[in-house]
Amino acid sequence: MSDKPDPSELHTDTLAIRWAQLRTDEMAHSDPIFLTSSFVYDSAAQAAARFSGEQPGNVYSRFTNPTVRAFEERLAAMEGGEKAVALASGMAAISSTFFALLAPGDHVVSSRSVFGTTNVIYNRYLKKFNIDTTLVDLADLDQWRAAMRPETKILFLESPSNPLSEIGDIEALARLAHDQGALLVVDNCFCTPALQKPIELGADLVIHSATKYLDGQGRCLGGAVVGPATLTDEVLGFVRSAGPSMSPFNAWVFLKGLETLGLRMKAHSENTLLLARWLEQQPGIARVHYSGLESHPQHQLAARQQSGFGAVIAIEVEDSDGHRDRQAAWRFMDGTRLISITANLGDVKSTITHPGSTTHGRVDPEEKERAGITENLIRLAIGLEHVEDLKTDLSRGLKALGF
């Protein structure tokens, strides 16, 4: 389109459908997939110019592919970032960002409530390169401040956190990072740009596991890093050499996923709020953790920096004899018939997980307690089934607890 509007003139829902559409001479209305590893040139001279970067254009799908580029440009526009780099998975996005931007002796401050595998990167791999990480409570600004060192280069968080729905104050943490020349990196997997735009709040880089809501139907693994070209080009340089690239087929699935992202996130959030309010009223539910509830200690902050509350709830269950233990949690889960027992989330299908014995199963007990992962805690990632059917299914869980 020659008269392309500026992305800032369009709403996120429109960008998700219209931005960076791929048009070839065939004029397909749906984006085509360029399922090719390499590209041909008119001449030897052109090949040389493309490889050296003198002439822009496709070289090799490890770092240049039209379908992958369309996904990158669309996601960057939606997040309000200058550029995006697509990667093979969310973990490829997280690890590539660290490896591209950090050097031995650097220091990272991170929320302790991050995706479990991110902690493995800190403890096993960054440590090996003499990069230290300090873990802090997401919601406690004083802890972040106290953890800062002169060599701190990155502050890293997810908000809302998994599974307890704690909220990080992105604006305040961006100021803290920038006062010291550090970067704020936000994993925006749980909200997506449909509900939260960390870059507008001051974050430098946004990370995605596209595997979750960007796909939305549990089909493909993918990830992305969004931000200013000065930073994303460093990540792209790492990807070009190290090779954790996104497949063009997956990029095409994510392009299709983005088109319905706004609608899905709205429907996910609506279903989840209805269920969270309902769960709060049920016997057998000792506590509901969800930032959309007025009872959540950071509800106001969540309402300020998000336009919806997302689809992940954590509940603490109690059986009719007053036991709040692993057995009660497992009985509740095994009582359901519709909701899938799996650790995945971000799917149209609702899922139920016992973090203490799965996603956080290898976390040592002390750290688990500090992170609030109690034995009677259950995580629900609410999908798009009819809310009444989900209530019926959760009622089966309550029945298994003796209610």
Ligand X SMILES: *Cc1c(COP(=O)(O)O)cnc(C)c1O
Residues interacting with ligand X, by CB under 6 A?
A: 89-91, 115, 158, 162, 187, 189, 209, 211-212, 221, 223
Provide, rounded to whole angstroms, the least separation between the CB of residue 208 and ligand X: 8
Q: Which is nearer to ligand X, 162 or 336 (CB)?
A: 162
- Vertex 79 angle, CA 305 and 222, to 5°: 115
Per-residue DSSP letter, 38: B
3-state DSSP of 60-78: ECCCCCHHHHHHHHHHHHH
Provide, rounded to whole angstroms, the least separation between the CB of residue 158 and ligand X: 5
Provide, rounded to whole angstroms, the least separation between the CB of residue 124 and ligand X: 16
Provide, rounded to whole angstroms, the least separation between the CB of residue 92 and ligand X: 7
Whether the Cβ atoms of residue 109 and residue 259 lie closer than 8 Å to each other:
no
Q: Which is nearer to ligand X, 137 or 158 (CB)?
A: 158
Whether the Cβ atoms of residue 377 and residue 388 lie closer than 8 Å to each other:
no
Residues 6+ apart with CB under 8 A from 191: 159, 160, 265, 306, 308, 310
Provide, rounded to whole angstroms, the least separation between the CB of residue 365 and ligand X: 23
Helical packing angle, 261-280 and 387-400, nearest 10°: 40
Q: Which is nearer to ligand X, 135 or 189 (CB)?
A: 189
Q: How many CA atoms, within 13 angstroms, populate the side-chain half-sphere of residue 109?
A: 26
Q: Which is nearer to ligand X, 168 or 397 (CB)?
A: 168
Provide, rounded to whole angstroms, the least separation between the CB of residue 318 and ligand X: 27
Q: Which is nearer to ligand X, 81 or 222 (CB)?
A: 222
Nearest to 176 by CA among 203, 206, 207, 208: 203
Q: What amino acid is encoded at 350 in this protein?
A: S
Closest residue by beta carbon to ligand X: 90
Pairing of strands 285-289, 107-111: unpaired
User: How far from the centroid of its chain's Cα atoms is residue 250's Cα?
Assistant: 17
Residues 6+ apart with CB under 8 A from 147: 109, 134, 136
Q: Which is nearer to ligand X, 232 or 401 (CB)?
A: 232
Q: Which is nearer to ligand X, 73 or 187 (CB)?
A: 187
Provide, rounded to whole angstroms, the least separation between the CB of residue 54 and ligand X: 35
